[in-house]
Amino acid sequence: MNIALIAHDLKKPDIVRFAIAYEPILKQHHLYATGTTGQRIMEATGLSIQRFQSGPLGGDQQIGAMIADNEMDMVIFFRDPLTAQPHEPDISALMRLSDVYQIPLATNMASAELLMHALARGELHWRDIVKDRDTDGK
């Protein structure tokens, strides 16, 4: 599966701890992240991550494009709901695309852990079926 990892500045330590805790599961998948988040996770773990631009410089939109092209299967986005973000429209668009295309989206540690456990149990293989159906043109 293709999994995006994103975190606002004050949540970056949390997503790094999350990646360390779930490294055995995450290393079995293709990982993508916005700039600094990806760098910090790679420095703290042995995970290989394709990094995009930072969120305010277009990284959220790059991940959104993958969602729209049915190339992203899950988004882990540790948002900071108490701090104003200058790129709030990009964040809203990413979340809207996740809803439109039925992409599992976790915006905090609790929901992200649920997705990791579901992933480990094989409960998200429906994404493979959706992708296969889309590429077959049906």
- Residues recognised as catalytic: 60
Q: What is the b/e burial string over 69-97, where b = at least 16 CB atoms within 10 angstroms of the residue's CB?
A: ebebbbbbbbbeeeeebebeebbebbbeb
User: What is the layout of strands, in order, in the sheet containing 30-33?
Assistant: 49-51, 30-33, 2-7, 74-78, 105-106
